[in-house]
Structure 1
């Protein structure tokens, strides 16, 4: 069982981002949010987790890798990330360089 605890002065969002970066199981993160930070409802927890930049980075990577594995084009992957990124809240919006890095991280795209 993975153990993770909040670091002194860490906000709930900082904790979630650290947990996401460490790939802590969701159940463990939820338990800490409930026990330590007083989150009572699943909706509150989900809303908080959707603010996590590491969560969205992984979301984009997973989708880009799926496009790559299905033989899709780099252009399609790039457009997917750009389109989703356009609707992102400002604090988790990716720069063009970050978008390019995520798309290129999938591998060598066919030309």
Structure 2
């Protein structure tokens, strides 16, 4: 199990995003947030984790990969991300270019 400690100048969100990139377990991230940042409320920890752009890119990727394997359309994949992205906070909102890159990263779409 990977251990992770926050950098001296790292804010809680940057720490969570770095942990998401390294695929550190949720338990370890939660413990680090409590110990190093004094964030003890589960609701606050969850809100913070849901602000992670890395988390949302992985979430979108999993969804569009499933759509791709079911022979879904590229258009449906783009629209799904755009629709969810409309409700995203500025910190985790993907640009149109990032959406296109993410959708195309699963392979050559038939539709």
TM value normalised by structure 1: 0.95
Which residue in the other structure is 2:67 paired with?
A: 67
- Give the structure 2 partner of residue 86 of structure 1: 86
Cα distance in 2 between the residues matched to 1:22 and 1:5: 12
- Coordinate RMSD, CA, aligned: 1.0
Aligned equivalents of 1:57 and 1:7: distance in 2? Answer: 23
Aligned-residue offset at 1:86: 1.3
Aligned length: 111
Aligned equivalent of 1:31: 31
In structure 1, list runs of 5 or more residues that go unmatched: none
Quote how far apart the aligned CAs of 1:65 are. 0.6
Structure 2: give runs of 5+ residues left out of the alignment: none
What TM-score does the superposition give when structure 2 sets the normalisation length? 0.95
After TM superposition, what 4+ stretches of structure 1 lie above 2 angstroms from structure 2?
none
The residue correspondences of 1:13-52 to structure 2 (distance < 5 A) are 13-52=13-52
Give the whole-Å Cα distance in 1 for the aligned partners of 2:6 and 2:94.
Answer: 26
